Amino acid sequence: MTVERIDCANDPRAIAYRDLRDGDLLRGRGLFAAEGRVIVRRLIEDGRCLVHSLLVNDAALRDLGPAIARLDTAVPIFVCPTEAFLGLTGFDLHRGCVALVHRPAATPVDALIAAARRLVVLEAIANADNVGGVFRNAAAFSADGVLLSPSCCDPLYRKAIRTSMGAVLHVPYARAGDDDWPAVLMRVRAAGFTIVALTPREPAEMLEDFAARWDREGPPKGGHHALQDGGHRESPPKGGHHVLQEDALEYVASGFSRTARLALVIGSEGAGLTPGVEAAADYRVRIPISDRVDSLNLAVAAGIALHALGKNREPRTVNL
Residue 140 amino acid letter: A
Structure confidence at residue 7 (pLDDT) = 80
pLDDT per residue over 92-133, tens digit each?
776 789 999 999 999 999 999 999 999 999 999 999 999 999
Instruction: From 317, 29, 293, 26, select the one nearest 160 (Cα to Cα).
Output: 26
Structure confidence at residue 10 (pLDDT) = 80
Structure confidence at residue 93 (pLDDT) = 75
Structure confidence at residue 88 (pLDDT) = 85
Tell me: pLDDT of 255 over 70: no
What is the mean pLDDT of the segment spanning 128-147?
Answer: 97
| One-character DSSP codes across the chain | -EEEE--STT-GGGGGGGGTT-HHHHHHTTEEEEESHHHHHHHHHH-SS-EEEEEE-HHHHHHTHHHHTTS-TTSEEEE--GGGHHHHHSS--GGGEEEEEEPPPPPPHHHHHHH-SEEEEE-S---HHHHHHHHHHHHHTT--EEEE-TTSPPTTSHHHHHHTTTGGGTS-EEE--GGGTTTHHHHHHHTTEEEEEE-SSSS-EEHHHHHHHHHHHSSPSSTHHHHHTT----SPPSSSGGGSSGGG--EETTEE-TTSEEEEEE-BTTTBS-HHHHHH-SEEEE----TTSS---HHHHHHHHHHHHTTTPPP-----
CA 93 – CA 11 distance, rounded (Å): 18
Greater pLDDT, 243 or 146? 146
In whole numbers, what is the pLDDT of the chain averaged over residues? Answer: 85
Q: Which band of pLDDT confidence, cut at 50, 70 and 90, is reported for residue 259?
A: low
Phi, psi (rounded to 5 degrees) for 183: -60, -25
| 153 contacts 27 by C-beta, under 8 angstroms | no
Residue 170 amino acid letter: H
What is the mean pLDDT of the segment spanning 48-57?
Answer: 95
| 137 contacts 303 by C-beta, under 8 angstroms | yes
Q: Which band of pLDDT confidence, cut at 50, 70 and 90, is reported for residue 220?
A: low
- Asked, as a colleague might, if the bond just before 203 is cis with ω within 30 of 0, I would say yes
Structure confidence at residue 245 (pLDDT) = 30
Q: Which band of pLDDT confidence, cut at 50, 70 and 90, is reported for residue 218?
A: confident
